[in-house]
């Protein structure tokens, strides 16, 4: 098992939680971004800098992900591809993506994009909160506990 972080848009508290879990459970983590990231002191944690073109981080993760892996991302198309490859994807607010809910979210996203193009102001997501961090921590812990017990993610 490996944890992949789509690091460009991942909130710092989420990265910190994953890195602590990595050290505690000895799980390798790969952070993928289109810019250099702060150097980590642990041999379990690596980073990959991809070109700044559209979706290069997504392509890299999808090409490398294994069904036993976990991907942390708020990018719905990436989550859909990860789930399609049999791996687990979770967003920084603690929602584990499934084939059903990721399809539903993609449909809503496409609908919202059409409304925005038509001039509707739908606003954006609320700021990342302490409650979001707590939900993510719980979801991560549940997933890692299941994996360590040999149960499917």
Instruction: Dump pLDDT digits (tens) for 92-111.
Output: 999 999 988 888 777 766 76
Q: Is the pTM for the entire model greater than 0.75? A: yes
Reduced 3-state DSSP string for the chain:
CCEEEEHHHCCHHHHHHHHHHHHHHCCCEEEEECCCCCCCCCCCEEEEECCCCCCHHHHHHHHHCCCCCEEECCCHHHHHHHHHCCCEEECCCCCEECHHHHHHHHHHHHHHHHHHHCCCCCCCCCCCCHHHHHHHHHHHHHHHHHHHCCCCC
State the pLDDT at residue 112. Answer: 64
For residue 47, give every residue at least 6 positions away whose Cβ sits within 8 Å of its Cβ, in sequence order, or none: 7, 30, 31, 32, 33, 36, 37, 40
> 3-148: which CATH topology?
Rossmann fold (3.40.50)
pLDDT given at position 109: 66
Task: Give the start-to-end residue ranges of the domains of the chain.
Answer: 3-148
Q: What is the gyration radius of the CA atoms in the chain, in angstroms? A: 16
Q: How far apart are the first and last CA of the chain?
A: 11
- Per residue in 13-70, pLDDT (tens digit) is 999 999 999 999 999 999 999 998 888 889 999 999 999 888 899 999 999 999 999 9
Q: What is the pLDDT of residues 77-88, one digit of tens each?
A: 999 999 999 999
Model pLDDT, residue 100 = 86
Q: 127-149 pLDDT, tens per residue?
A: 999 999 999 999 999 999 999 88
């Amino acid at each position: 098992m490996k944890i992949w972080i789509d690091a460009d848009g991942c909130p710092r508290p989420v990265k910190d939680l994953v890195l602590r879990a990595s050290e505690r459970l000895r799980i390798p983590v790969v952070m993928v971004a289109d810019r250099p990231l702060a150097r980590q002191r642990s041999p379990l944690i690596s980073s990959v800098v991809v070109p700044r073109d559209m979706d290069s981080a997504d392509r890299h993760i999808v090409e490398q992900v294994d069904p036993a892996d976990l991907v942390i991302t708020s990018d719905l198309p990436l989550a859909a591809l990860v789930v399609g490859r049999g791996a687990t994807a979770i967003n920084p607010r603690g929602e584990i993506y499934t084939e059903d809910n990721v399809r539903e979210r993609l449909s809503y996203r496409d609908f919202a994009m059409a409304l925005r193009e038509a001039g509707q102001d739908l606003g954006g997501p609320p700021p990342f909160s302490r409650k979001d961090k707590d939900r993510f921590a719980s979801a991560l812990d549940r997933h890692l506990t299941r994996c360590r017990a040999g149960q499917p993610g």
